[in-house]
Amino acid sequence: MSRRQEVLLAVVAALSVLLGAPAGAAPTTAGSGNAVNQFPEGFLFGASSAAYQIEGGWNADGKGESIWDRLLHTFPNLTTDGRNGDVAADSYHKYKEDVEALASIGANFYRFSISWPRILPTGDTNVINQAGIDYYNNLINALLEKGIQPLVTIYHWDLPFELQKLGGWTNPRIAEYYVQYAKVLFENFGDRVKLWITINEPDMFTKGYATWGQQAPSVNASGIGDYQAGHTVLLAHAGAWHLYDEHFRPTQKGKIGITLNIDWSEPATDSADDAEAAERSLQFTGGLFAHPIFSSEGDYPSVVRLRVDANSKAEGRGVSRLPSFTTSEVEYIRGTSDFFGLNHYTSWYVADGVEGTVPSKTYDSGTITTPMTEYPLTYSAWLRVIPSGIRKIVNWVSKTYPGHPILITENGCSDDGSTLDDQQRIEYYTGYLSEVVKAINVDGVDVIGYSAWSIIDNLEWMAGYTNHFGVFRVDYDDPDRPRTAKASASVLKKIYESNSVPLEYFTPDSSST
């Protein structure tokens, strides 16, 4: 039996254990022989990346143009440093070095995304780019040879520009194009890929249809375009899940879910109004996409529906800015995820009140968000180190949408790139992982895996290359783009290989917020 076959068998076995446990089953706890700092047997540890942020090769070997290619070529000054993803970390040519980096920290899975226009240059199946398929086949095979299972994100923000000409995600027909794209991936990679994520962070990338200069394609249609894009995204996700479930799962035997980004919302005061506002904030970010998929009743959260409908009417509109699903669409979307993919980075104070433009999602939510300034700030102005937030958010997900295993698909912090001795990142990872393991062993939350963002430094969207999230530095001033391990790489290796947060790093008590 080859190493690749051994890995595939191990992946299938691990998935059956991790994702097949009865809903609500509590993991092993300290009281049953597992130390409170020890993760459950078979816990998944990995690291993440995204195609546009690391691959480069923007027009290599038949790749088509993406909305990010078009935006940053047309408006180069949108990024902080005026740079784009044309070369990035050159992972299109240096993917083997990325695989070596993953192996060196003991990762047992790699969450990466596939570039839609690298596979389908026009966005449609009329042109299938074999060179793109070959690239991802080579990457997947290299991972399996190292005993690392691929976790593939089908869409991580790089829509083919040819589809943006049709309106992009605001056009409901894009869901049909997306499902056909997913079919090509299942057909070509599903024999080896056993974990799939349909779509990454719809709450973030739909801002590209709301506000100029935040996300591609930068269509300024606040409070309208973002809701319509999100509506299409949910139908696209459900379509891909049903396609896999009906036509590919019986033979490929994998799992498929979605990844949502949810920061923790901490009530700004002890008042009931602020407590309700904090919950509304969670529903307008996470719940907007989670509730149609993971709740027992489906559809949008009632608080979102009521507030957007009321504001739309008050603005003199004949129809709500938030589209409606038909009864059959509600049923079609409900239950379409095998796990809850969660990206979490930080937390915020939330108070009852009104801010934001009219119309906008922020205005509709009726909340005012402020930073928790008592906590350390990273190099990113939006990101503070608040470990307790991740324990609170996985508990919220578990209680709000019970019965779904949680896979943490992104978590990490940035530095300025000036040193390899990244002590703040070490404090961040050890603090957040301490809270994750306590959520599992003390609170009984069904968290099945954790992925650090990111394995290497990358283009951090509008921040360009000024924010460094990697546990491996990439020297962007060197044409060869060498990777060098930071101090955090050895700490993650200790955690991943021991299946625990070593006691020297473990924080036994949550920080209060």
Q: Residue 36 and residue 28: Cα distance in Å, rounded?
A: 9
Contacts of 159 (CB under 8 A, 6+ apart): 66, 67, 116, 123, 168, 169, 174, 216, 217
Residue type, 461: W
Q: Determine contact, residues 430/365, Cβ cutoff 8 Å.
A: no
Q: Residue 130 and residue 128: Cα distance in Å, rounded?
A: 6
DSSP code at position 66: B
Structure tokens at 67: 């909305």
Alpha-carbon distances of 441 from 31, 39, 171, 203, 437, rounded to whole Å: 9, 8, 44, 30, 6
Strands (E), 43-86: 44-48
497 is catalytic: no
Structure tokens at 9: 């068998």
Torsion angle, alpha carbons of 301, 303, 308, 310, to 10: 140
DSSP 413-479: --B-SS-S--HHHHHHHHHHHHHHHHHHHTT---EEEEEEE-SB----GGGTTSSB--SEEE-TTST
- List phi, psi (to 5°) of 308: -70, -40
CA 160 to chain centre: 20
Contacts of 355 (CB under 8 A, 6+ apart): 362, 363, 367, 368
Catalytic hit among 162, 201, 279, 460: 201
CA 7 to chain centre: 25
Strands (E), 289-378: 340-343, 347-352, 367-371
Q: In what order do the strands lie in the sheet with 347-352?
A: 264-267, 347-352, 367-371
Catalytic hit among 55, 266, 410, 427: 410
Structure tokens at 354: 């009104």
Catalytic positions, please? 201, 410
